[in-house]
Structures are given as C-alpha cells and as structure tokens.
Amino acid sequence: MARTRSPNRKKSKAANAGSSVFQDIARNPLLWLLAAVPAVLWIGHARPDQSTLLFILSALAIVPLAALLSRATESIAHRTGDAIGGLLNATLGNLTELIIALTALKAGEYMLVKASIVGAIVSNTLFMLGSSFLLGGLKYHTQEFNRSTARLQAGMLFLASVALVVPSAFGAVQGEQITAKLSFLLAVLLILTYGCGLVFSLGTHRGYFGSAVSAGGHDEEEGLWPVGEAVAVLVIATLLIAFVAEVFVHSLEGAGAALGMGGAFIGFVVVAIVGAAGEIVAAWSGARKNKLDLSVGIALGSAVQIALFVAPVLVLLSFVIGPAPMTLEFWPGAIFMVFAASLVAALVSGSGRSAWFLGLLILSVYATFAITLYILPPQAH
Amino acid sequence: MARTRSPNRKKSKAANAGSSVFQDIARNPLLWLLAAVPAVLWIGHARPDQSTLLFILSALAIVPLAALLSRATESIAHRTGDAIGGLLNATLGNLTELIIALTALKAGEYMLVKASIVGAIVSNTLFMLGSSFLLGGLKYHTQEFNRSTARLQAGMLFLASVALVVPSAFGAVQGEQITAKLSFLLAVLLILTYGCGLVFSLGTHRGYFGSAVSAGGHDEEEGLWPVGEAVAVLVIATLLIAFVAEVFVHSLEGAGAALGMGGAFIGFVVVAIVGAAGEIVAAWSGARKNKLDLSVGIALGSAVQIALFVAPVLVLLSFVIGPAPMTLEFWPGAIFMVFAASLVAALVSGSGRSAWFLGLLILSVYATFAITLYILPPQAH
Amino acid sequence: MARTRSPNRKKSKAANAGSSVFQDIARNPLLWLLAAVPAVLWIGHARPDQSTLLFILSALAIVPLAALLSRATESIAHRTGDAIGGLLNATLGNLTELIIALTALKAGEYMLVKASIVGAIVSNTLFMLGSSFLLGGLKYHTQEFNRSTARLQAGMLFLASVALVVPSAFGAVQGEQITAKLSFLLAVLLILTYGCGLVFSLGTHRGYFGSAVSAGGHDEEEGLWPVGEAVAVLVIATLLIAFVAEVFVHSLEGAGAALGMGGAFIGFVVVAIVGAAGEIVAAWSGARKNKLDLSVGIALGSAVQIALFVAPVLVLLSFVIGPAPMTLEFWPGAIFMVFAASLVAALVSGSGRSAWFLGLLILSVYATFAITLYILPPQAH
C-alpha cells in the first residue's frame, strides 16, 4: 500500500483538495444505495416479519455504508502519516465484516460466523481475484503484476490459512472445553503474529511487502475528505452498519428458509460479498485501469487480515459476549476450501501474468464451492 | 500447440507429403500390435471365457488403434485450419479413454470409470511427466522447458482438479439423489468452463497458453495423411476401439480375479495407460528430442481435458445410458491422489528444468500410489 | 553441498590445519554441555526413578554429542573425496535421530517413533527454516537465496512427503498384516529411490541439486579434525548417544506424565529438536553470516533424508528388532502437518528472498502445530 501510495501522494492531495462527502455521494452511483438505509430502519421497526424484504434491503444498505467507512478510514489515514494511517487501515479495513460477525456472534449464530470467516477468505481469494482478472482481461489482452510481491503475499496467506485450520485438521475433537482452551491460545498467537506483521509492514520494512498485511489499498486518485468530515462519517457509518447488521442477521433465518438457503451458504456467499463490497469495487477499478498489483494486493491482503486478525478477535470476543465460547473448529468442507483457495492464490500469483480465461477459471472454482455449499449444507456442530 | 506447430508447418507438410497409413504401419513397430485386433475379435467370439487372455490381447490391441486415431485426428486437424483443427484435437484428443469409459458406464462398472478418470489425471501428471523427464534425462544432462507456460498449465490443472473433487472433499453425503443433482450441475459448469477455454485458446489468445486446453500436441515431424484416408482411419479405428473396449471391459472381472487385481487398480493403472498409450509415446519422443515443452504440454493439457471435459461428459451421459446416475463422488484416496498429483505438476513446473532423478522421483510417487491401490483397494461405494 | 564446498576447500583446509577436538571443545560453549553426559550415566544408574531430571539431563547431553558426531562425519568426509564423503554425510547425517528412534523402536514406543519422524520433517522445514530466516533477518534487512536450487529441493521434499503418507492418506485400514506388508514394500521403494538420489547427487550430477539429498552441509570455515581423531570421536560419540538415548527413552514416560506432555508431543517437539540440534546450530550460523543457501540446504536436505531414508529404515528394522512391525500409518494430524510443512517449504522457497517477519510467520505455524499437539494429543493406534 505504502508502495503504491507514496509516489503521487502530493499530486493527488492537490488535485482532490475540494472533494467532500456530499459531492462523492452525488457522483458515485454505488452510494445512491444509501437510500436503502432509512428503508431498512423503518421496515425493520414497522414490519419485522418481512424477513426476505429486510434481508435484501439490509444487504443493499450495507454496501454503500461499507464504501463510506472504507473511504473515511483512507481519508483519516492519509492525514495521520504512514505509520498511524497504516495501523488505522489495518485495524478498520475489515470493520464491516467484523460488525456483521459480532452481531451474529451475540445472537449465537456460530455457523453463520464461521461460514462468513471462511467465505471472506475464499471470496477474497477466488471471487475478488478471479473477477478482477476477468474484468481486466476483457479490456486488456494480457496483464502483468509484480510476481515477487504477489508470491510473498500468497505465501503469507497460505501460512495464515494453515494456522487457522490446524485444530480442525487434527480431527481430534475431545470435548468442548479443551477445544475452547486451544482456540483461545491459538487466537492469542495469531493476533500476536498479526501485531508483529504490523511492526514489519509499517515499521521496519515499510513498502517491502506492499499491502501484505493491511487490507486497505484503495485507489489514490479518488478524492479524499477533510479530516473532520471523515471522522464524522466514520462514526455515523459504523453506527448505521451496526443497526443495519442487527436487522440483517435477524432477517437471515426467515429469509434463508424462504429462499432455500442454509446459514452456511448465506454466511459464505452473501455476508462475505456484502461485507467486502467496497474492496471488491476497488479491486475491479484497479483491474480496469491495468493496475493489477492493486487488485492482487487488496484481495490477498484482506484475506490475510481476516485469517490473522478478524477470526481470532471473534474467537476472543466470544468468550465475553457470546452465549458460549466459539472455537476454531471448522467443518471438513471449510478446511478444504480455505486450503484450496490459498493454494490457488499461491499458484496463480507465481506466474505474474493473467488473461481473461484464468479469471474465469478461478471464478468457476468459486462457483463449484458455492453450488456445493448450497446443495450440500454442512451439518451443524 | 499452435505455438509449437506454427513455425514449421509448411516445411513438415512438404517433407511428409507422400506419407500414407500403410507406409506408417510398415515403419512403426508399435502399429504391428494391430495384429492383436483380429485375435481379440475372434477369441472374444469363440472363447469368451478366456478372460485373462482376452484382457491382455484387448489391452494390446487398443494401443495401436489409439495411436491411429490420434494420428488421424492430427491429420484432419492440420487441413482444417487452426480453429476447427484445435477444436477437433480438443474434443477427440481423449476419445479412446472416452470410449472405454462409456463401455464401462453402460455395464454399470462405476468404480472402474471413476478409477480410470482419476488414473488418467494422475498418470498423465506423474507417469507421463515422470517418464518423459527420466527418458530425456538419460540422454541429456539437464533439460529446460518454458517455465511460464508450464506454470499456467499446471495452475489450470490444479483449478480443474479442485473443481472435480469438491463434492467428495466436502464429505457431506446426503442421499443418492441430492448428490446426483449436484454432480449434474457441476458437470454442466465444468463443460461450460471447458468451452470458454476453447474460445480462449483457439480464439482470443491463440498460442498464448500453448496446449493448455487441447490435448493433442503430437510431434509435427511425423507424417500426415491425406484427408480422405484420415477420415476413413478415424471412423474405422473408432469402431474397432468400441468393439475391442467391449471385450476389454467384459474380460476385466475375470482377469482381475485371476491376476489378483481389483477394479480400482485396473482402472487406475491399466485403463489409464492403455487409453493414453499414443500420447505417452508422443511425450517420450518429445523428451528424447530435447523438446520437453512438447512433453509437458501433452501431459498437462491432456490431464486438464480429462478433468474439465471427459469426466463431466461421462457424468452427463450416465443419466442417459447408465443403469443409474454416476456422481462426482470419489473415495478419499482418489481425492488425495488427484490433489497431490496436480500439486506435483505445479511445483515441478515452477523450476523450468529437469534431470533424470527428478523424473525417477515423480515415478516413485506414481509407484507408491499404484502399489497402495493394489494392496489396499478402496471399498466399493 | 558440493556446490558451496568446492570453491574454497583448499583455503579452508589450510586455514584450519591445526584444529583438534579438544581445542574445539574449549572454544565452543555448546560443547560444554558434554558435562551432562557423565551426569546422565551416573544418575541413570544410581537413581533411575528420577525421570524428569534424567529426561532433562539426557536431552542436554545429546545436543553436544550430536554436534561432535556431525563434525566428525564432516572431517572424515573431507578426507575421503567427494563421492565417499558425500555418501558418509548422507548416511550418517541423521544418525542421532536414527539412534534415538531405534531405542524407542526396541522399547515398542511406536507413537514416539512416528511422532519423531513427523517432527523431524516438520521441525526441519518450519522450525529450522523459520528460525534461520528470523535470526538472519534481525541482522540483515532482507536476504536472498538461490531460488532454483531451493525450489528443486522443496519439490523433492514434497514428493518424498507424499510418498511417505500415501498409506495413511488412503484411509483404508484393512488389518494389521496387510498394512505391514504395504509398509514393507513402500519402505523398500523409498530406500531404492534414496539410493538413486545418491547416485545422482554424488555421481552423475554432482553439484547440481546442491545438498538436496545429503543432509550435511555444515559450514566449511569451522575447523576440521585429523582423520584419526575424527574416527575415534565418531565411534565414541555414537556409543555415548546410544547409552544416553537408552536413558532418555526410558525417562520419557515418567517425565511426560510429570510435565503433562504426551508421547506424540515429546516425539514431535523434544526428540526432533534435540536430535537435530547440531544442524539447527549450523543453519543459524549460516543465516547470521548471510549464507542463507546453506541454511535452506541443511533444512530441506535433512527433511528429505528423514522421509526417504530414516523413516523407511526404521520400518524395515522394526520387522527385525521391534516387538511387532511398525507401519507407515500416521494419524490424520500428522498427514496434515507433513503435507502443510512441505507446501510451506515449496511456497516460501519460490520467492528466493526473506525478511524477519517471514521467519516469524513460519515459526507461528510451527507453534500452532506444537500447541495443538500438546492440548489435543492424537489417539494411540
């Protein structure tokens, strides 16, 4: 991130000096979806039984809120200097996913939470990367990206994925309490590793790994907001996401039943894509501008952050706010998907170039996962 | 394929203008095995109880027929231009495997069919690649091949393999009917992906991936036949393979019992190698001529074609001609082998050079698979 | 190895002409641990019930003995020319691990033996590589190593790992006797492959793979001993290790109970690290001197040797000296760890450069394995 941001910072600051939240909303059709927010709050209050409608509206409402949140974080990060800015990006980069997962955690919907963790890793790696390659490839004959940075990021993702699924892969379930203790210890270890990763990418080796650890990486040429506005947007968007997520999570059971989707499918596909909508748009925009490094960095960096930071934070918080501790035990299909997705990232990034069919092939793998999960939902734990 | 073929097409056409089917049979000792064809048909009629003899004779008879078939396809493909020729190669490239598998499908021998699918992927990747590296390495001290093409092909093979084993890896068997439905949907998805791959490799990006999707890639310097002869050979060889395959499949049970081999072992080793004999010879010939790109292209391209085209076609046809739908459910060892083989392809192709011991090591892995399958046959589903 | 050794052999011989065993002991603080050897022998005789004390003392005593053994092997190997020297290194390189495992084998402690095989592969790949990257990275900003050699070694390690876990991955347990027969056959195959690997790396392709097959690779600039002294040290150290290993293995059960560690954890962590202490020190020393090729070569070469030589030798010997044949059946967590560790090696070596955080991340994965094994010990077979 520091890598792609540094060269043209001053220029972009100057060029976008006058940008403001309202101008952006007027210009960006994605943000018009904000109209769904009041609808969600009103219908959620007046007709809480309309699950399917609420499910669709709240999913639509989260997308622009997540985009605002991520732009606000970027704007603040830019004014605070590289180190603090990077830290902000790294901790708030997946805030939307975190808020939705926390709401589900409080409601005791553990399958949903786990499915959305797995879904976030898999959809960052397969859906975001695959669709960026496809969209970029439809415009450019072939595209190149920095092979060694991508390979390092993919290597880190593989390591993080392995660490995350260890307890399940050992297949040695021996009572709730022992697994909870193990999950607690591993969560602490993963967060410490993540902390060291921040020291590395923001301190000792700024710009070396690129956006390997922090998930931001949004395109610099879009406008930045004044700090005051940005902080206000950050607070308001977070609060609104929390409200909408509440409606979203509570509508899931009814909507899932009506639409024939299990909790695992909803968490894996819907929550993961809704939560990452802002990043997906940024990755696509990078690919269409032939800046594939940006897309790869956002996709892999965000997946690493989910595995090393969001997932363990959820485990630790489950000891405080959940009805029972959430463990790091995943169902066999989840282990396979995380493992396969991070290997795909490693193998694909090794070649350093892409074309449309490679993107389509990666999307096919994602589609086989989604179809299988839809038709063969995992048994509840 | 287009890549290796284009440069010297005109020259090779000129040099081999006079080649004909009968000259080739006289010159090529492999084709003398055609003598086994009438023997199979006669003994299959007169003494159908001689399972072991029929098994050996029909295996021997398929080898030269497959070689004729593949040469005929090449000859026609050359005269029809790149696009249609590539399409012919891509759809008829694994015709022998397809005919044998269809015969087994009709007889309801699903374990044999699945084992031959897995065997075709694994033996293309490990046996064909390993033996090419070994044979080439015994002649040349070290050999180089195009790393980025090989890496792209291996990446595609990994993606195709993952897509193929998803339902089994999810380990969530929930009734025959649901699994059949899932297999149907995934088969359609894989075939669509394969179709896009043809558009890519024959249309938008001709020559970019090399022979990544189409499995032909035979050595150009051997003679081509006149179109009329080639079409006649194509039709006759296909019919003869269908007859011989019938005898072959029906001799399997008796011969397997007599030779102590289970259906999975026969499908995995014997059917896979007999069906791919023509390609194996072409890959070896490439390696001995220090054209390792050709060998790697044939091996990986053919494996991709099995996973993305032959396997799903068999699933779809099982709904029409089989006694019951065949699903994409494989036994755990099969998943491990496909996954491991495609990773081996990815890791080995990453280095871009080979020597005899690397080939031997790959063959050792193939041997451990074959030995284990012989001694520990999978339980029937 | 030959690769790094050849250039400056003459110089290093000349510079270190006067080195002797006693000088080395005086200079090297690690060797002061030799004081633990008489303590072990005495307490083992006088107070055999002091399990925990004996466990700690014997672990400490093995470390300097292993270092002496490995230096003695190096010294002899240097005087006997490349071919025989390489053979000595390759067969005696993991002698300490072999002696400890043999002692455990005789005592029928099969879980301990298997855990130490798995532990040796995993700790070579993750602990040795990770800590070398970390220690080197704390001194140098970034470090480079020869990507193609590392990739070949990692590819070989992956192939060896796959071959080793095949029977367990097939998941088709069908009676002790059949599994024992299968393990016997595969052990013979692996040893033959290893033998061919020696022909390759010491014969036809000396210097091509570097230290891919032989595990020595110690730093040349340390002093070499006169042959007579070296042979004496080799014999005496081997005998002492055998005695100490006896005490070590018999103290394990008591100490494990007292310290709350199961047999699998002790074998995986303690035996693996104690047995490889000499190589770990050599790998660290390479990393601190910015010779990362040496560290990578020692780590991956030694892991290959365990998989292709030590493990199958133990299987074969179990038919002679064990209470029952030991099979190549591992528990599911072990398969996952070996598979994941060899993939980590492959992915990490692909980039050809390292920095401290990469090392820390690899160590984190190792830590998750160790913690999980401590808290969720595998069920005995």
Asked if B351's CB is within 8 angstroms of C151's CB, the reply is yes
Asked if C163's CB is within 8 angstroms of B356's CB, the reply is no
Check if C169 contacts B (Cβ < 8 Å). Answer: yes
Contact B200/A355 with Cβ under 8 angstroms? yes
DSSP label of C376: S
Q: If you average pLDDT over residues C5-18, what whole number do you get?
A: 42
Note whether residue C4 is domain-resident. Answer: no
Q: Going by C-beta distance under 8 Å and a sequence separation of 6 or more, which residues neighbour residue A14?
A: none
Give the lowest-confidence range in A110-119, A130-139, A312-321, A344-353: A344-353
Kindly list the residues from chain C whose CB atom is less than 8 angstroms away from the CB atom of residue A169.
Answer: 332-333, 336, 340
Question: Which one is predicted more confidently, B45 or A6?
Answer: B45
- Considering only CB atoms, C361 lies closest to which of A156, A166, A350, namely A156
Chain-centroid distance, C-alpha B243: 19
In this model, does residue B363 exceed pLDDT 90? yes
Q: Going by C-beta distance under 8 Å and a sequence separation of 6 or more, which residues neighbour residue C318?
A: C105, C324, C325, C326
- Give the alpha-carbon dihedral of C326, C328, C331, C334, to 10 degrees: 120
Asked if B356's CB is within 8 angstroms of C169's CB, the reply is no
C317 CA: distance to closest CA in chain B (Å):
20
Asked if C151's CB is within 8 angstroms of B332's CB, the reply is no
Q: How far is CA A28 from CA A64, A232, A290, B73, in A?
A: 10, 19, 21, 54
Other CB atoms within 10 A of residue B18 CB: 8
Q: What tokens appear for B134 in the block?
A: 């070994």
pLDDT tens, position by position, A65-98:
888 888 888 788 777 766 677 677 767 778 888 8
Q: Residue A216: its pLDDT value, please?
A: 44
In this model, does residue A211 exceed pLDDT 50? no
Kindly list the residues from chain A whose CB atom is less than 8 angstroms away from the CB atom of residue C336.
Answer: 166, 169-170
pLDDT tens, position by position, B235-250:
898 899 889 988 888 8
Considering only CA atoms, which of B381, B212, B236 is closest in space to residue B307? B212
Q: Going by C-beta distance under 8 Å and a sequence separation of 6 or more, which residues neighbour residue C25?
A: C31, C32, C34
The predicted model scores a pTM of 0.85
Asked if C186's CB is within 8 angstroms of B372's CB, the reply is yes
Give the lowest-confidence range in A121-125, A216-220, A301-305: A216-220
Q: Which residues pair with C143 in a beta bridge?
A: C354
Q: If you average pLDDT over residues A284-291, what whole number do you get?
A: 87
C-alpha angle A175-A177-A182 in degrees, rounded to nearest 5: 100
Asked if B333's CB is within 8 angstroms of C170's CB, the reply is yes
Give the DSSP H/E element, type plus range, for residue A354: strand A353-354
Q: How much of chain A exceeds pLDDT 90, in percent? A: 16
**Where in the sequence is the domain holding C62, given as residue range(s)?**
11-375
- Considering only CB atoms, A155 lies closest to which of C351, C360, C364, namely C351
A194 CA: distance to closest CA in chain B (Å):
28
Q: Residue C141: its pLDDT value, please?
A: 86
Note whether residue C2 is domain-resident. Answer: no
- Say which amino acid occupies C1: M
In this model, does residue A5 exceed pLDDT 70? no
CA–CA distance, A34 with A30 (Å, rounded to integer): 8
Q: Going by C-beta distance under 8 Å and a sequence separation of 6 or more, which residues neighbour residue A282?
A: A70, A217, A218, A219, A294, A298
Work out the pLDDT band at B222, boundaries 50, 70, 90.
low
Q: If you average pLDDT over residues C227-255, what whole number do you get?
A: 88
- Say which amino acid occupies C169: A
Kindly list the residues from chain A whose CB atom is less than 8 angstroms away from the CB atom of residue C376.
Answer: 167, 170, 172, 174, 178-179, 182
Q: If you average pLDDT over residues B114-140, what whole number do you get?
A: 92
Residue window 314-343, chain C: list those with CB within 8 Å of chain A: 331-333, 336, 340, 343
Q: Going by C-beta distance under 8 Å and a sequence separation of 6 or more, which residues neighbour residue B27?
A: none
B368 CA: distance to closest CA in chain C (Å):
6
Neighbours, chain A (3 or more CB pairs < 8 A): B, C
Give the lowest-confidence range in A22-26, B51-55, C36-40: A22-26
Q: Residue B214: its pLDDT value, please?
A: 40
Give the lowest-confidence range in A102-106, C94-98, C148-152, C246-250: C148-152
Q: How far is CA C375 from CA A27, A172, C91, C296, in A?
A: 55, 10, 35, 30
For CA atoms B200, B203, B206, B211, the dihedral sign is positive
Check if C380 contacts A (Cβ < 8 Å). Answer: no
Q: Residue A11: its pLDDT value, please?
A: 41
C-alpha angle A271-B164-B334 in degrees, rounded to nearest 5: 120
In this model, does residue B286 exceed pLDDT 90? no
CA–CA distance, C371 with C114 (Å, rounded to integer): 18
pLDDT tens, position by position, C130-141:
999 999 989 988
Work out the pLDDT band at A174, boundaries 50, 70, 90.
low
Q: Residue B219: its pLDDT value, please?
A: 46
In this model, does residue B213 exceed pLDDT 60? no
pLDDT tens, position by position, B90-125:
677 788 888 888 988 888 888 889 899 999 999 999
Q: Going by C-beta distance under 8 Å and a sequence separation of 6 or more, which residues neighbour residue A111?
A: A263, A264, A267, A378, A380, A381
Q: Which residue has the tokens 């490839």?
A: A137
What is the rounded radius of gyration, in angstroms, for the C-alpha atoms of chain C? 20
Q: Which residue has the tokens 């004014």?
A: A79
- Considering only CB atoms, B193 lies closest to which of A355, A361, A373, namely A361
Q: Residue B83: its pLDDT value, please?
A: 66
Q: Going by C-beta distance under 8 Å and a sequence separation of 6 or more, which residues neighbour residue A110?
A: A322, A326, A381
Q: B200-221: string of b/e by CB count within 10 Å (b at 16+)?
A: bbbeebbebbbbbbbbbbbbbe
In this model, does residue A237 exceed pLDDT 70? yes
Note whether residue C309 is domain-resident. Answer: yes
Q: Residue B79: its pLDDT value, please?
A: 76
pLDDT tens, position by position, C332-372:
888 889 989 999 988 888 778 888 888 998 999 999 999 98
Note whether residue A178 is domain-resident. Answer: yes
pLDDT tens, position by position, C282-315:
888 888 888 888 888 888 888 988 998 999 999 9
Q: Residue B218: its pLDDT value, please?
A: 46
Other CB atoms within 10 A of residue C293 CB: 20
Work out the pLDDT band at C188, boundaries 50, 70, 90.
very high
Q: What is the mean pLDDT of chain A?
A: 81
Note whether residue C380 is domain-resident. Answer: no
Q: Which residues pair with C153 in a beta bridge?
A: none
Note whether residue A381 is domain-resident. Answer: no
Phi, psi of B211 (to 5 degrees): -85, 35
Q: How much of chain C exceeds pLDDT 70, in percent? A: 87
Give the lowest-confidence range in B134-138, C32-36, C149-153: C149-153
Q: Which residue has the tokens 């704390």?
A: C138
| Half-sphere exposure of residue B338: CA atoms within 13 angstroms, side-chain side | 33
pLDDT tens, position by position, B320-336:
987 888 888 888 888 88
Residue contacts between B and C (CB atoms, under 8 Å) = 101
Note whether residue A6 is domain-resident. Answer: no
pLDDT tens, position by position, C48-65:
888 889 999 998 998 888
Asked if A340's CB is within 8 angstroms of B182's CB, the reply is no
Q: Which residue in chain C is spatially nearest to A177 when comparing CA positions?
A: C375
Q: Residue A126: its pLDDT value, please?
A: 93
| CATH for A254 | 1.20.1420.30
In this model, does residue C16 exceed pLDDT 60? no
Q: Which residues pair with A353 in a beta bridge?
A: A144
Q: If you average pLDDT over residues A38-62, what whole number do you get?
A: 87
CA–CA distance, A14 with A232 (Å, rounded to integer): 22
Q: Going by C-beta distance under 8 Å and a sequence separation of 6 or more, which residues neighbour residue C91?
A: C309
Note whether residue C3 is domain-resident. Answer: no
- ipTM (interface pTM): 0.83
Q: If you average pLDDT over residues A238-243, what whole number do you get?
A: 89
Asked if C368's CB is within 8 angstroms of A152's CB, the reply is no
Q: How far is CA C355 from CA A83, A345, B368, C137, in A?
A: 19, 21, 37, 5
Domain count, chain C: 1
- Considering only CB atoms, A362 lies closest to which of B159, B182, B204, namely B159
C299 CA: distance to closest CA in chain B (Å):
18
Q: If you average pLDDT over residues B272-287, what whole number do you get?
A: 85
Phi, psi of C212 (to 5 degrees): -60, -40
Q: Residue B13: its pLDDT value, please?
A: 43
